[in-house]
Structure 1
Amino acid sequence: MSSLPSLLPEDPAAPFPPVEQALRQPDGLLAVGGDLSPTRLLNAYRHGIFPWYSPGQPILWWSPDPRTVFDTAEVRLSSKFRRGLRRSAWTVRADTAFADVIDACASIRRPGQRGTWITLDMRAAYRQLHALGHAHSLEVFDGDRLVGGIYGVAVGRMFFGESMFSAESGGSKVAIAALAHHLHGWGWPLIDAQVENDHLVSLGARRMPRARFITHISALCESPGLPGPWSERVGDWPAARLAEPAPALGGP
């Protein structure tokens, strides 16, 4: 295995190196360079690869091992949080405020993090994917105020989560739980959460060996998906619905 990541060719349709060539330190660094064109990004996600870099760096492409995932039937909300949602007037919508969600994810302050990896170029690239029907957001509203959200990329029946935020306590929890609820209802079993952190684990995220993850997404990405806006599919969905007990189903 090389001690340096691969340099990507200029052709956005060129294949990525096999993920098995990703570095152990830093975990998952596979390639450098290229661009953030829709062709390159969709090709990356189909193969379990995502971009993640800081301002001033070249584009870095990652495929960590293990991968962090959610089973869409098993996102956990505490009993106390669910009880509070019974009285909630929050509503959940999809693809009505994509740019606002990605901007909020970029600007929200996070413990232990200085600056943001969601650069202006990244925001522009994912807005383009959204316009093409491949990137989606779930938004949590208190009246007309955006209080939480999540965005990511859908390929086939696989959703690759990118980032989420809360402007009010619990906003991101409602966003990921509502996303999982709808995806599960559509027959989508997994959400990619990329890299583990305590917040994701508290919501039910688990580790999956990269080889197993790649096997799962290879089949899911080839399955018929739901391209185009999801706004009508989700509608104005009451967050209070999340107070209902979650089904006890397993994932892959």
Structure 2
Amino acid sequence: MKSPHRLFYLTDRLEFPPVETANSEGLLAVGGDLSVERLVLAYTNGIFPWFNDESPILWWSPDPRMVLYPDKVKISKSMRKVLRDNRFRLTKNTCFQQVLEHCSSIEREGLDGTWITQNMKKAYCAMYEKGYATSYEVWEQNELVGGLYGIDLGHIFCGESMFSLTSNASKFAFIKLAEDLHAKGYKAIDCQLYTAHLASLGAQEMPRKKFMELLK
């Protein structure tokens, strides 16, 4: 009989257990803090925080992992037209906090509330100040209509969240992100968990072991 999973509780020590000890849902550890140092340690080891206001800090490393190779991004016929029409304009790191706020307030189908809590916002703003977090912004004329943000590890981009206030704006941001990263030689975009939307853009599930090899 397989022994039950024993959850790892973090202390003030800057450490995480091996990702292989995560449970079947990908939950690895509980507790700790959201300091820049701990977040950098987490992302560089294939771990990310995901929790809501009512729960303690939860750390995850799912198996399989949702990943996109930047050169494999899928661009539909309708999106090719959007790209040709120059309807949108892209910027990078011009209004990180606004992107974060939009991502936290957008309503998600099937989700009650947001996982981007006030403490998470402070943490990612601190990551941005230290140069680890990056935002891509989509503008229609002079209005911010979409965007995304994530953690940039230099060879892997860990996508955290995206938003769209008008049709195709977040898809535009994601495609431009993939094209930018491909041009810079990045290995992958970490999309974390499966969604049909990400699958439609070319992301695929891969074994956690393979993702960890990419990460290292």
Normalised TM-score (structure 2)? 0.96
In structure 2, the partner of 1:21 is: 21
1:103 has 2:101 as partner: yes
SS at match of 1:103: helix
Partner of 1:30: 28
Aligned to 1:190: 188
Contact 1:32/1:60 (8 A) holds in 2: yes
Q: Which runs of 5+ in 2 are unaligned?
A: none
Contact 2:134 2:151 (8 Å CA) reproduced: yes
Distance 2:162 2:205 in 1: 19
Determine the structure 2 residue equivalent to 1:86.
Answer: 84
Once residues 152 and 69 of structure 1 are traced to their aligned partners in structure 2, the CA distance between those partners, rounded to angstroms, is 14
Q: Distance in 1 between matches of 2:12 and 2:4?
A: 21
Query: How far does residue 155 in structure 1 lie from its aligned partner after superposition?
Result: 1.4
Q: Distance in 2 between matches of 1:155 and 1:145?
A: 29
Structure 1 stretches lacking a partner, 5+ long: 219-252
1:189 maps to a residue whose letter is K
2:7 alignment partner, one of 5, 12, 19 = 5
Deviation of 1:28 after TM superposition, in Å, equals 0.4
Query: Aligned-pair distance for 1:2?
Result: 4.8
Deviation for aligned residue 1:84:
3.1
**Aligned counterpart, 1:131:** 129
CA RMSD of aligned residues (A): 1.0
SS in structure 1 at match of 2:85: coil
- Describe the SS at the equivalent of 1:77: coil
Report if the CA contact (8 A) 2:50-2:115 is conserved.
yes
Across the two proteins, how many residue pairs are aligned to each other? 214
| 1:224 match | none
For 2:84 and 2:210, how far apart are their aligned partners in 1? 38
Q: 1:53 aligns with which of 46, 51, 54?
A: 51
SS in 2 for 1:165: strand
Shift of 1:63: 0.2
Provide the secondary structure at the position in 1 that maps to 2:72. Answer: coil
Q: Distance in 1 between matches of 2:62 and 2:82?
A: 36
Give the equivalent residue in structure 1 for 2:162.
164
In structure 2, C-alpha distance between the alignment counterparts of 1:148 and 1:84, rounded to whole Å: 14
Displacement after TM superposition at 1:110 (Å):
1.3
Structure 2 contact 154–186 (Cα < 8 Å) conserved: no
Q: Which amino acid aligns with 2:201?
A: L
Deviation at 1:3, TM superposition (A): 2.1
Counterpart contact for 1:2–1:23, Cα < 8 Å: no
1:10-32 per-residue CA deviation (whole Å, 9 max, x = no partner) reads: 12xx22100000001xx100000
- Where has structure 1 moved over 3 Å in runs of 4 or more? none
Deviation track 1:118-144 (CA, whole Å, cap 9, x = no partner) reads: 000001100000011110000101122
Deviations 1:56-103 (A, max 9, x none): 100000000000001101111211221233223311010001001111
